[in-house]
Amino acid sequence: MLRAVTVLAAFAALLAAQNRPTLDIYWIDVEGGAATLIIAPSGESLLVDTGFPGNGDRDPQRIAATAVAAGLTRIDNLVITHFHGDHIGGLPAVRRLYPHAVARKFPGEAPVSAIEPVAAGELIRHDGITLQAIHTPGHATDHLCFYWLEEQALFSGDLILGEGTAVIPRVGGSLMDYLASLKRLCSLDIRRIYPGHGPVIEDPPAKITEYIEHRHMRERQVLDALHAGARTIREMVARIYADVPRGLHPLAEETVWNHLVKLEGERRVRRIQEAGRETYELLG
């Protein structure tokens, strides 16, 4: 039996689990998303992501408070989905609180001290919990999803969100890789998705299809913007994201840039660098 507890601000409502009969999962409210604590019936624990640094170690302290409320005196294992600050940023503070915890992630461009590597496809086993590391680049080069075999559930990090869609950044992002990663998930029997941000996803096949179709829609919008005379990324974003607050347009520019890189690689668009200005035009 799987018991799920959502942890927001009031940890007092959680009872310490003595002689734990179930495998328990706790979602911990961290900066902009959730860290996830899984506790096996034996009490061995596994933490997925560590939250954001700063704010007086707010996120690591919330993780520690959840562990205490769950009856733990330590966290045994840590896995990190990717190197972005809201997922790995709390690691130093968590390691200070739990120095014996074993931390693991997929190797990235920047090495991180005291972290053991995880290989693509590797099975991580902890007392009845088996996570398969699925390399899913696109949002980040080192991005991993973790497929929980026993529960047929996926910890999706930032590949798939509970609300909205993921940004494909210029640095470390790739739309081609992102689409390939989404299609890779289609081969798995996923019954539930635990995203790094937003609510649990109860219909994974529909959400994955939605994400793929959304990217295809954005590509059509980029091509339509070029047909309509837009030449710069800023002009395209102003047209495509007209209903989105302008404060979010810089993030949208990064995703549109990745769409243009894909189209350029397919020889459907040409990039022109002139007098320090980058413009684009359709080919054919």
Q: Provide the pLDDT confidence category of residue 69 given band limits of 50, 70 and 90.
A: very high
CATH architecture of 2-202: 4-Layer Sandwich (3.60)
Contact yes or no for 158/138 (Cβ under 8 A): no
* Burial (CB count within 10 angstroms: exposed 0-12, middle 13-18, buried 19+), residue 5: middle
Provide the β-strand partners of residue 129.
126
Q: Which fold has domain 219-282?
A: Arc Repressor Mutant, subunit A (1.10.10)
pLDDT of residue 284: 75
Residue 26 tokens read as 């706790």
pLDDT of residue 111: 64
Q: What is the pTM of this model?
A: 0.89
Contact yes or no for 176/153 (Cβ under 8 A): no
12-37 tens-digit pLDDT: 334 444 455 678 999 998 877 889 99
pLDDT of residue 239: 97
191-242 tens-digit pLDDT: 999 999 999 999 999 999 999 999 999 999 999 999 999 999 999 999 999 9
Provide the β-strand partners of residue 266.
none
> For the chain, give me the number of helices (H) and strands (E)?
7, 14
**HSE (CB half, 13 Å, CA atoms) of 106?**
24
131-176 tens-digit pLDDT: 999 999 999 999 999 999 999 999 999 999 999 999 999 999 999 9
Question: What are the start-end ranges of the H helices in the chain?
Answer: 58-69, 85-88, 91-97, 175-185, 204-227, 233-240, 249-265
Domain boundaries, the chain: 2-202, 219-282
